[in-house]
Structure 1
Amino acid sequence: MRAHNERLVLTILRRHGPMAKAEIARATGLSAQTVSVMMRRLEEEGFLRRGEPLRGKVGQPSVPMRLAGSGAYFGGLKIGRRSADLVLTDFLGKVMSRARITYDFPRPEATVRFACDTFKQLSGQLDPVKRARIAGLGVAMPFRLWDWATSLGLAPEEMEGWRDYDIATELENGLDLPIFMQNDASAACGAELVFGAEDRASDFLYFYLGYFAGGGVVLNNQLFTGRNGNAGALGSIPVPDGQGGLVQLIDRASLCVLERAMRAADHETASLWEPPAAWDVPPGILSNWVQEAGRGLAHAIVSSVCVLDLSEVMIDGWLPTHVRDDLVTMTNAALDKMDLSGIQRPTVRPGHVGPDARVLGAASLPLSHRFLIE
């Protein structure tokens, strides 16, 4: 019960920001004495710190309590089709340090070697006390990587090494830390859930556009992944191909589609896999992709809302901010032209985490496991 109550307090403070003890008591339903004892203990253990007293009211000044960034640290590893990112974050989700590699396709042993060697370097920058507060490494990666060889333009055997590779065990042996695994798109959705805006809905649909389009579903402030971990596999939703047929959303709204268009025009594509601020995409090609992706997203949204009756949809991705915003505008415009009889039109808005959503979602896995409640 003590552990549950402490997690409850940490979850509330993460969601709503600094609060006084009396406010926390009201929010949790716990007695003022219980909250006082618990807050004192969490402060002594380094998870909370006091804010400046708020004066001007009758009685003792109110002292807001907030999360302490040095309370714990977390590693996040994103393994993508074209790049891998590694971050070390603090208790607030602030990135303390980071590293990344790009490649033609991911190889198991090389990826683990990058993660172990680099994480040791990043964590070595912390003093011994802080280093002892590292709670684990989260890993966000596509499930069944070997199924995507053809989409990456590879022979199937080049990705076959992932089929029987136990990356969690290899990382745990190399780092001596707890390892937590999740699908990359679900992890991005989890980052929005943990680090996103306070005013978001408690139920929402989430799209993340990376090499492939994917996403996640949040119901009652919980990431819903389903029995096999594939709930929210939004990239697999059938959408019109513009020629009278159907294709999966990944064939309309993924960055691999943009990459193919750039290559067909003999344009270099390496910038797509660098941080989005460095994108170098011809405006005409980018505009066409945004239009087609927006139409595909609109159809996927309608299909999803028919089943789940969600009021809010967020769109994010490995995208420059202005491209993400244009994509939201195009998706809304496409929805306005569709027959929505019988369903409530959802609000479509940009996500709040941005390109780092997958790697921050990975870092949120040990954070959620150790310090939050669903």
Structure 2
Amino acid sequence: MTVDHVRSLSSGINQTGVRAYNERLLLSVLQRNGALPGGELARRTGLSPQTTSVILRKLEQDGLLHKGVPVKGKVGKPSVPFDIEADGLFSMGLKIGRRSADLLVLDLKGEVRMQLRETYDYPMPDTVFGFLERGYEDLMSALSIDMRSRMCGLGIAAPFELWNWHELVGAPPAEFAAWRDIDFSAEAARITDLPVHQVNDATAACRAEHVFGMGREYRDYVYFFIGAFIGGGIVLDHAVFEGNQKNAGAFGPLPVPDVQGKPAQLIDLASIRALEVRLEADGLDPRQLWQTPQDWSHLEAYVQPWLEQTADALAIASVASCAVIDFEAVVIDGAMPATCRARLVEMTRTRLSDQDLRGVIAPEIIEGRVGNNARGIGAAAGPIISQVLLNRSAALLGALLHKLGSERTSPFPGRTYPTGSVTGMPRAV
């Protein structure tokens, strides 16, 4: 199957256009809370039962929802829960990392259906977009015709100002500067002919955790993702806050002292690159850290001191973050084996208790659930959110709520826009 043939099959879902606000609201409530009956959906959104029923039938006909098994109650008819249909929509996510690139297919429930990976010493445009071109054709060819018709877009997660990282990834400066002139969206659209959404890689990881992982359970939290370097994200009032320049949560430059108390940055201490340096010092190949499946058990002599150093730095960074905003939690995830992540979280909890917390409310230290694939999943979530879910960007919602006030006339004549529902989302209009 040629790329042109793949393109011709990938535009079906886009013909349905942008979904109405109330359709997005119901889908968003179900995505965040799981299966619910129509009556409960009406109560949570403020829609009338009749309107809710009409919308649910339409979403079911469009293949975005399915009915569950009726649940018998004490009185009246059994309630029928509705849930997201996993096959209702698909998207692709391209993660451009410092050591590898991933291309994956994500379904509407956040499950990765297929995935390809390419490793390298450092990323270059020809390598990355060559991988995208080959991988896109391979993945689309492996999908059924119906799945291809429901492919809604491609999300790209890449480091902010990638060209500035040449020294840390060991790339020739002159060659690596080629990234400065690359238009990610234009290159990807040329290859795939899909709508393209670009996001900072660490923000993408935060989005994945927020939409599909631990983030559903907390209102405000800091998110740290430890990859080759460290980045993260910020969630405020149940929404990922991207910032004015789309770079909020860029924790790498955060000043923290090293073990000798000398000034350093979080990126120097709490990143897998710091573990690579330990291996290189003893003549070991650092590329073994990125092999799949990941297994670092034979490197315990290097991993343990690295985890201790990282936990110390994260504890300090957590206090600094909570001194600005009283986050209720700090979520830690990363491109590492799950056993290492669990150890790191426990160590960070211990180190946090040793910090001077006067004037600061200590946050919970929580282990992320999404793991190594968070950046690719977060990238792929972008097109899905654009097509069928409410855009829970704190910046966009904040501007809207500021304009509307707590109970003012909405942009829709004859309607009001009450804020603050039990779902953490605006109510129906």
TM-score (norm 1): 0.97
Letter in 2 for 1:306: A
Of residues 173, 182, 185, the one that matches 1:168 is 185
Q: What residue is the counterpart of 1:212 in the other structure?
A: 229
Question: 2: distance between equivalents of 1:241 and 1:276?
Answer: 31
1:54 to 2:71 alignment = yes
Question: 1: distance between equivalents of 2:170 and 2:134?
Answer: 29
After superposition, the Cα gap between the structure-2 partners of 1:142 and 1:266, relative to the gap in structure 1 and judged at 3 Å, is same
Query: How far has the Cα of 1:268 moved from its partner?
Result: 2.4
Query: How far has the Cα of 1:173 moved from its partner?
Result: 1.3
CA contact (8 A) 2:73 2:79 kept: no
Q: What residue is the counterpart of 2:34 in the other structure?
A: 17
Q: What do the CA deviations read for 1:204-234 (whole angstroms, capped 9, x no partner)?
A: 1000000001100011111111111111111
Please give the secondary structure, in 1, of the residue aligned with 2:142.
coil
Q: What residue is the counterpart of 1:261 in the other structure?
A: 278
Which range moved further: 37-46 or 325-334? 325-334
Please give the secondary structure, in 1, of the residue aligned with 2:66.
strand
Letter in 1 for 2:383: P
Question: 2: distance between equivalents of 1:143 and 1:329?
Answer: 30
CA contact (8 A) 1:15 1:198 kept: no
Q: What residue is the counterpart of 1:282 in the other structure?
A: 299
CA contact (8 A) 1:49 1:67 kept: yes
Which range moved further: 125-134 or 360-369? 125-134
Question: 1: distance between equivalents of 2:126 and 2:144?
Answer: 29
1:302 to 2:312 alignment = no
Of residues 320, 339, 355, the one that matches 2:337 is 320
Question: 1: distance between equivalents of 2:286 and 2:149?
Answer: 41
Question: 2: distance between equivalents of 1:292 and 1:38?
Answer: 53
Question: 2: distance between equivalents of 1:94 and 1:173?
Answer: 27
Q: What residue is the counterpart of 1:71 in the other structure?
A: 88
Please give the secondary structure, in 2, of the residue aligned with 1:319.
coil
Q: What residue is the counterpart of 1:332 in the other structure?
A: 349
Q: Identical aligned pairs, as a percentage?
A: 43
TM-score (norm 2): 0.85
Which range moved further: 154-163 or 271-280? 271-280
Which range moved further: 202-211 or 48-57? 48-57
Report the aligned-residue RMSD. Answer: 1.4
Letter in 1 for 2:97: G
Query: How far has the Cα of 1:280 moved from its partner?
Result: 5.5
After superposition, the Cα gap between the structure-2 partners of 1:197 and 1:153, relative to the gap in structure 1 and judged at 3 Å, is closer
Which range moved further: 241-250 or 10-19? 241-250
Query: How far has the Cα of 1:197 moved from its partner?
Result: 3.3
Q: What residue is the counterpart of 2:387 in the other structure?
A: 370
Please give the secondary structure, in 2, of the residue aligned with 1:206.
strand
Query: How far has the Cα of 1:131 moved from its partner?
Result: 0.6
Query: How far has the Cα of 1:51 moved from its partner?
Result: 0.3
After superposition, the Cα gap between the structure-2 partners of 1:176 and 1:359, relative to the gap in structure 1 and judged at 3 Å, is same
Query: How far has the Cα of 1:276 moved from its partner?
Result: 5.2
Letter in 1 for 2:233: G
After superposition, the Cα gap between the structure-2 partners of 1:101 and 1:340, relative to the gap in structure 1 and judged at 3 Å, is same
Q: Which runs of 5+ in 2 are unaligned?
A: 1-17, 393-429
Query: How far has the Cα of 1:43 moved from its partner?
Result: 0.1
Which range moved further: 162-171 or 146-155? 146-155
Q: What do the CA deviations read for 1:91-147 (whole angstroms, capped 9, x no partner)?
A: 111111110000011111221121122112112222222211101000111011110
Letter in 1 for 2:386: H
Question: 1: distance between equivalents of 2:167 and 2:73?
Answer: 66
Question: 2: distance between equivalents of 1:355 and 1:112?
Answer: 21
CA contact (8 A) 2:153 2:195 kept: yes
Q: What residue is the counterpart of 2:5 in the other structure?
A: none
The correspondence of residues 21-170 of structure 1 with structure 2, limited to 5 A, is 21-170=38-187
Size of the alignment, in residue pairs?
A: 374
Query: How far has the Cα of 1:244 moved from its partner?
Result: 2.6
CA contact (8 A) 1:78 1:362 kept: yes
Q: What residue is the counterpart of 2:253 in the other structure?
A: 236
CA contact (8 A) 2:90 2:150 kept: yes
The structure 1 segments of at least 4 consecutive aligned residues displaced by more than 6 Å after TM superposition are none
CA contact (8 A) 1:89 1:96 kept: yes
Please give the secondary structure, in 2, of the residue aligned with 1:243.
coil
CA contact (8 A) 1:276 1:318 kept: no
Please give the secondary structure, in 2, of the residue aligned with 1:81.
coil
Query: How far has the Cα of 1:86 moved from its partner?
Result: 0.6
Query: How far has the Cα of 1:193 moved from its partner?
Result: 0.9
After superposition, the Cα gap between the structure-2 partners of 1:215 and 1:2, relative to the gap in structure 1 and judged at 3 Å, is closer
Query: How far has the Cα of 1:278 moved from its partner?
Result: 3.2
